[in-house]
Structure 1
Amino acid sequence: MEEARKMDKQAIRTRYLGIRNGLSYSEREQKSREIWKLLKEEEVFQKAQAVLVYMDYRSEVMTTGLVEELLSEGEKKVYAPKVDGMNILFYEITSMEDLQPGYQGIREPVEKEERLYDSKMAGKDGIILVPGAVFDRQRSRMGYGKGFYDRFLSKNPGLFSAALAFECQIARKIPVEPHDIKPDMIVTEKERIR
């Protein structure tokens, strides 16, 4: 039963990643900008002093332009993830030069202990942007199978989480596990799902 469930999840993940991969670069760029617009209209985003971003990889909702905007505005602290074994840690970045190729070629911040995100010190004034392969209308999220974001969110329960997804990544219902953590909100180019 457990093996069949894993195979079902992998088949669903593969199917939706295939759909997402079918979007052209220009489609992804346009839809990503629409997602940023809806995200930035949210009060929780406007009030956030810290934004924990993911650095886009392959066909994910693009975040590079959003990160560049946030850095140039200089009003919020921006943190990017770095893989550390089976966990992710977030480090503050002040420019795109603070990033270098890391885990699977994904841009990661240069590790500096004094720039490490600490939820106890940061308070509850932050928001984390979460990637994923497929989501549903109950806000369930299926990532890429490593559990990085589920583990991070379980250790930072007060941090508001917003998953960024293209509308084509929203399924009717996806299987979930007890350790899966739902984002507080999913933002697509068409809507916000709460």
Structure 2
Amino acid sequence: MRDPSRESLRQVLLKRRDATSHEMLKIVSESIRNILRGSSLFDDITNVGVYHAIGSEVMTSGIIQDLLGSGRNVFLPAIQNNVIVFKNVHGIKDLIP
């Protein structure tokens, strides 16, 4: 059973995110990308799980391109037989269903 207060908060946050302009979303997404580029977080990491943005979510295509360009193994979630699995992505063409 879902917590009604938690569900209510989720709906409020989704409405705020959906109300964010496309320009602001691009600015925030690029800012996050730049923070990750400057971080040592991925220095010793070979495999990275990431999501591909849908709708008003933070745009991750640039981050995915950076990771692929640096030779890392990139995995995105997919649903197979009602189970979430992570699929290895080798390029942007792999994102097309």
TM class by shorter chain equals 0.7 to 0.9
- Judging by fraction of residues, say which structure has more helix: 2
Q: Is structure 2 residue 22 aligned with structure 1 residue 48?
A: no
Unaligned runs of 5+ in 1: 102-194
TM-align CA RMSD: 1.7
| Amino acid aligned to 2:76 | A
Correspondence for 2:28: 31
> Contact 1:40–1:46 at 8 Å: present in 2 too?
no
Aligned partner (choices 9, 15, 20) of residue 18 of structure 1: 15
List, as ranges, runs of 4+ consecutive aligned residues in structure 1 with deviation greater than 6 Å. Answer: none
> Contact 2:50–2:76 at 8 Å: present in 1 too?
yes
CA distance in 2, matches of 1:30, 1:83: 30
Aligned partner (choices 73, 78, 91) of residue 74 of structure 2: 78
Alignment of 1:59-78 (within 5 A): 59-71=56-68, 73-78=69-74
Structure 1 length normalisation: TM-score?
Answer: 0.45
Unaligned runs of 5+ in 2: none
- Judging by fraction of residues, say which structure has more strand: 1
Structure 2 length normalisation: TM-score?
Answer: 0.85
| Amino acid aligned to 2:21 | S
**Aligned sequence identity (%):** 27
1:148-193 CA-to-partner distances (Å, cap 9, x unmatched) read xxxxxxxxxxxxxxxxxxxxxxxxxxxxxxxxxxxxxxxxxxxxxx
Count of matched residue pairs: 96
Q: CA deviation at 1:18?
A: 0.8
Correspondence for 1:97: 93
Alignment of 1:115-126 (within 5 A): none
